[in-house]
Chains A and B, each alone.
Chain A
Amino acid sequence: MTIDFETPKPIAQMQTMLQTVAENMMRTTSREFDENEHAIPWGYVEFMHTAMRSMGGGGGLTVTDDKPKEGAEKRPPIGYQKLAAQIEMLSWGDVGYYLITPGGGLGAAAVQAAGNAGQKAKFLARFNDDKPTYAAMCMTEPGAGSDTSAIRARAVLDEKTNEWIINGEKIFVTAGDKSFTEYEKLGKGFVVVWASIDPSAGRSGMRAFVVESGAPGVKVTKLEHKLGIRASDTASISLVDARVPFENILGSPTVEKSTTGFKGAMATFDATRPLVAASGLGVARAALEFLKEKLKENGVEIRYGLPRQKLSNIEREVFDMEIMLKSSWLMVLKAVWMADNKKPNALESSMSKVKAGDVTTKVTQKAVEILGPLGYSREFLLEKWFRDAKITDIYEGTGQINRLVVARQILGYSGAELR
């Protein structure tokens, strides 16, 4: 190995293809589904499902890696890198759409990370069926965000029926509606609900449960109205004496002293943070490209190579935005490259999210500012991208939580030492 920044061919080809999808299936209707908040762009959903199935990528946007042709030289894995590039390009098209790309999403990721072989076989096969199918993760509660130890949902085993009885209230469930509500055009999905089987045990008592669509006692109670990413449904799900089969628990049904089970689940965030970063950077790239295009149309030249003192303010801003965007993307690439090569990447993963949260927010803010009324008008998509962008610094751990993770890593501190 040596330091190399050449885009691997399979990634470059995939980017070209997805750019066509983004231009023809996403950008064309972006505005429509931003203004009709809870409408579902079925055209995109069905197209993506068919396309992903035909490419053998059943299960939606997951880590897939082409097997090298027989006799071909073995090459290092690039599955995560490919996924990050896919997500970046789809988000460049429309991040709201990207978030409703059919598949298992974070729900399936939890099964993949914490489920046993039987559970994987049972719960994950459906994503390759005829109809697009969704799964979602229910972690957040009204009183518990990044501090997952504050989760109050309870699961109690009913030994007579061998079922878990779950009570709790979950909010901010991305794709929660499509995962739980039964739609004719969709397959039967599920949500993964985090609840405690022993509140006295703190984090080590926390478990994830697969709750199938239509389970008794479970209801989608609300669809949020949001600042941006409006094509993506964000659901509240209430569980009142919900009954779930015993075997739907992910991980051990008894509580041990160690928190390894929980930490294992948390480790999935190391894998997903750079992907969220990639998504944000797709939005930022769209905004920066739009800005440069409009400046060019208006006869504003961007002159590279001049000393700072000779640059116009707009030129300085554009260069700063390019520097932010390019370097932030490289941090994402490094984090996913590490994941592909099985190198521990908790630090790089959180760093890439810290940076991308800032960059995505700043680039879209600046683009709107520089373009004045053109930036603020709903005639163009830029104002939408500004609203879409903000979520990057919030979900999958806010910028502040990720700073805390980065700080603990670089200082060698535990959660108790740096609270």
Chain B
Amino acid sequence: MYSFEPNEEQQMLIDAVGKYAANDLRPAAHDAEESRELPKKLVSKGWELGFLQASTPEAYGGFGERSAVTGALALEEMAFGDLAGALAVLTPSLFATPILLGGSEEQKQEYLPRIVGGDWAPYTAALMEMSFDFDPNALKTSAKADGDNYILNGEKIFVPFAKDAEALIVYANLDGVTQGFIVTKGSAGLSISEEREKVMGLNALPMYRVKLENVSASRLGGASGHDFELILSAMRIASASAAVGVARSSFEYAKNYAKERDAFGVKIAQKQAIAFMLAEMATEIEAMRLLTWEAAWKLDNNKDDAHIAAYLAQTGAADMVMMVTDRGVQIYGGHGYIRENPVELLMRNGRGFSSLLGLVIL
């Protein structure tokens, strides 16, 4: 039976996250970006909304079941507030969710209760590598079996909060297949850059480069490993829903600006040239939101084509968010180019979606 209505619980979550995004994340976004610093309180307040906690079963210290649909709804709201803030709040999920999806019982017991039961703490994951055609299914970082453990070698980029991370999942190539490995703080051969990564946007999110030289690690899921595709699809759907949130933010700013700004005796929104841009932005945002919801629903319901759906949703949303955030700047005209106004940051953040993967998971 088709339905496009979130259930009551989801609606409550959307409302709570929406309030936090509008009242906390959004007002802080500009200064956080410029100062390259997210206020700690802001992140803990987001953590206290309990998104990860509500996605973790009681047996592991949480109070709910994971649902990609629910996650997509919440993340769109949060990313509407600020992308860097949303990614920071959800960083512990980068470690916890793969364990939930593919970890052994022992790994779940060891990590999940302490992550979901405590304050926000820097648990993270390392997926990306510095290559123009970065492919999560063809990683250069390698893993080799060594008794019960595995030896990792390689270099990872854009790892959020790596500096202080208690533990991180490092994705590596094991005989041609991507697998996750749990690396703990202070492991021999693990080095984390002093300098933070510098990228076009997301300056408030502290990201680091991670080098692995014969680092010994345990495999996610134990000896038999895990299904990486499931994790990858959860990352793709997260990326798509965050893109929808960022696009919606730019659309809303642009719409409001166009209704305020006078030109030739009318508001610029009264000109079809602008009004049609806005109509197309709204249409594309809605199209990709629905595509993302459907992919998330397919993942939740183990549909055969769930992974293809997630791939297409990510691809489509990345194109959409670029188009929308570019137009957001365009509608503001010269003012859009000035960093005092919010749309240029949204455009920089929007550009990232086609290049970045694994910075968020649902």
Contacts and interface: CB of A to CB of B under 8 A. Distances in A.
B259 to A, nearest CB: 6
Contact of B275 (A78, A307, A411): A411
B134 interface: yes
A323 B275 contact: no
A75 B278 CA distance: 37
B3 A2 contact: yes
Contacts of A306: 135, 137
Given A1-B7, A403-B276, A411 B255 contact: yes
Contacts of B133: 307, 309-310
B126 interface: no
A326 B308 CA distance: 12
A5 interface: yes
Nearest to B6: A3
Interface in B298-342: 298, 301, 307-309, 311-313, 315-316, 319
Contact of A406 (B2, B269, B282, B287): B282
B69 A330 contact: no
B132 A309 contact: yes
A400 B2 CA distance: 29
Contacts of A4: 1-3, 297
Interface string A330-348: 1101100110000000001
B293 interface: yes
Given A4-B2, A5-B298, A413 B290 contact: no
Given A327-B287, A355-B283, A406-B279, A2 B7 contact: yes
Interface in A21-56: none
Nearest to A333: B2
Given A1-B3, A319-B315, A354-B279, A413 B269 contact: yes
A305 B308 CA distance: 7
Contacts of B175: none
A406 B278 CA distance: 9
Interface in A370-419: 400, 403-404, 406-408, 410-411, 413, 417-419
A76 B1 contact: yes
A326 B69 contact: no
A323 B297 contact: no
B283 to A, nearest CB: 5
A338 B4 CA distance: 9
Contacts of A305: 137, 307-308, 311
A345 to B, nearest CB: 11
A71 interface: no
A408 B282 CA distance: 12
B158 to A, nearest CB: 15
Interface residues of A, number: 49
* Size class of the B contact interface (CB-based, 8 Å): 35 or more
A213 interface: no
A32 to B, nearest CB: 36
A76 B1 CA distance: 9
A360 interface: no
Contacts of A1: 3, 5, 7
Contacts of A324: 316
A322 B309 CA distance: 10
Interface in B1-29: 1-7, 10
Nearest to A306: B135
A81 B2 CA distance: 9
A254 interface: no
B316 A5 contact: no
B316 A410 contact: no
B255 A403 contact: no
5 tightest Cβ-Cβ pairs between the two chains A and B: A309-B133, A323-B316, A407-B275, A2-B7, A330-B290
Given A5-B2, A327-B288, A413-B275, 12 more contacts: A1-B5, A2-B10, A3-B3, A6-B301, A305-B307, A322-B312, A327-B291, A327-B316, A331-B287, A331-B290, A354-B279, A404-B279
Interface of B: 1-7, 10, 69, 132-135, 137, 255, 258-259, 269-270, 272, 275-276, 278-280, 282-284, 286-288, 290-291, 293-294, 297-298, 301, 307-309, 311-313, 315-316, 319, 354
